[in-house]
Amino acid sequence: MDLLAELLAAQDGVVSRAQALRAGLEPHDVRRLVRRRDLTPMHPGVLVDHTGDPTWVQRAWGAVLACATPGAISGSDLAAALAGASAMRAADGPGRAEANAAPIVVAIPRERRVVAPTGVRVVRTYGLDERVRWNLGPPRMAYDHAALDVAMEARSDFDAIGAVSRAVQSRHTTALRMMATLAERKRARRREFLEDVLRDVATGTCSVLEHGFLTLVERPHGLPAAERQLRVGTASGIVYRDASYGERLVELDGRLWHDTALQRDKDFERDLDAAVAGMGTVRLTWGQVFDRPCSTAAKLSRLLVLDGWPPARPCASGCAVADAA
């Protein structure tokens, strides 16, 4: 029973039947503990040491143990580990209650097949051993790999950008580390796009955002062609404007995390200099370009029409530009 108590303490009160038997219990001992409600079934072959709702960490332990190799006790022998958003959630620790309702994502080797229990999503992957931190509790994929998996599986480029943003914001990794990890991945969806985004994050530029503005907002909606990287002399020195439509400026903010006070001060100084010169500035972010390009084009068109430019045109049926006409 001492070994069982150690296991329960190490695994947040969750244990598999195989682990309990290896700890010295007999099958009838396990059945007795269940009858007494000292242990409660979570999944087939997985038990928790109370009768209430399991915590997120207990759900995570239960998912890993339920998907583990039959008879496995610990470490890489489990051949199952938290993956994707669940691995990131485990690394983030408490305070992310909004992520608790999602299914627990568990990775297993490509050659294995597991029937996922309720509330668990199983993904089969290559090279699991090399990507997992087996010494952590629960075992989980390294943060870089987990974040890249989330970005590659994202429904849209904007969601992929969000995954990269959250990974870097978390301080668990850096853009350069994620670039190195991506280079190791032979099978990677969105490789070129993610490489560009990560390169931008690492260098502090926003070329991906500029390209997105051109191909998603400006061209498809027939907006006038902007002058790009226009060199302008101001009271604060020489600056380069991202996109200029005569007296109307568009600045593309490619940063993926909260601005520093110094950077915000520089941006507002640029905007003030533009206002002094009689030029209005519009700042656009990733979401406005990649997630809401039609809405952004419609609103930008309204401003440009006031300046004498022709109106935008819808890119397709249902485009927000048509509604704004």
Domain containing 303 equals 209-324
In this predicted structure, the answer to whether residue 262 has a pLDDT above a threshold of 60 is no
Q: Whole-structure pTM over 0.85, yes or no?
A: no
Both tokens of residue 141?
Answer: 């994929």
- Confidence at residue 258, expressed as pLDDT on a 0 to 100 scale: 46
**Residue 260: what are its φ and ψ, rounded to 5°?**
-75, 160
In this structure, the answer to whether residues 191 and 249 fall within a common structural domain is: no
In this structure, the answer to whether residues 199 and 213 fall within a common structural domain is: no
pLDDT digits (tens, 9 = 90+) for 94-106: 656 656 788 999 9
Amino acid at 76: S
In this structure, the answer to whether residues 192 and 282 fall within a common structural domain is: no
pLDDT digits (tens, 9 = 90+) for 172-192: 998 899 999 999 988 888 999
Q: How many domains does the chain have?
A: 2
Both tokens of residue 249?
Answer: 């400026």
- Confidence at residue 279, expressed as pLDDT on a 0 to 100 scale: 61
- Strands of the sheet with 132-133, listed across from one edge: 120-125, 104-109, 81-82, 140-141, 132-133
CATH, residue 305: 3.40.960
pLDDT digits (tens, 9 = 90+) for 197-235: 888 777 666 677 887 898 899 999 999 988 877 676 656
In this structure, the answer to whether residues 216 and 186 fall within a common structural domain is: no
Q: Which residue has the tokens 């009689």?
A: 278
User: Do residues 117 and 153 touch, judged by C-beta distance below 8 A?
Assistant: no
In this predicted structure, the answer to whether residue 297 has a pLDDT above a threshold of 50 is yes
Relative orientation angle of helices 191-203 and 143-153, to the nearest 10 degrees? 120
Q: Which of 156, 187, 203 is the last residue of a domain?
A: 203
Task: For residue 13, give the nearest of 53, 42, 50 by alpha carbon.
Answer: 50
**Going by DSSP bridges, is the β-strand pair 104-109/120-125 parallel, antiparallel, or unpaired?**
parallel
Q: Which of 165, 180, 203 is the last residue of a domain?
A: 203
In this predicted structure, the answer to whether residue 276 has a pLDDT above a threshold of 60 is no
CB atoms inside a 10 Å sphere around CB 4: 22
Report yes or no on 91 lying in a domain. Answer: no
In this structure, the answer to whether residues 271 and 251 fall within a common structural domain is: yes
Chain-wide mean pLDDT for the chain?
Answer: 86
Report yes or no on 286 lying in a domain. Answer: yes
In this structure, the answer to whether residues 189 and 223 fall within a common structural domain is: no
- Count of alpha carbons within 13 angstroms of residue 50, beta-carbon side: 9
In this structure, the answer to whether residues 242 and 170 fall within a common structural domain is: no
Report yes or no on 261 lying in a domain. Answer: yes
Question: How distant is the alpha carbon of residue 54 from its chain centre?
Answer: 25
**Going by DSSP bridges, is the β-strand pair 81-82/227-234 parallel, antiparallel, or unpaired?**
unpaired
Q: Which of 172, 203, 234 is the last residue of a domain?
A: 203
In this structure, the answer to whether residues 219 and 302 fall within a common structural domain is: yes
In this structure, the answer to whether residues 195 and 258 fall within a common structural domain is: no
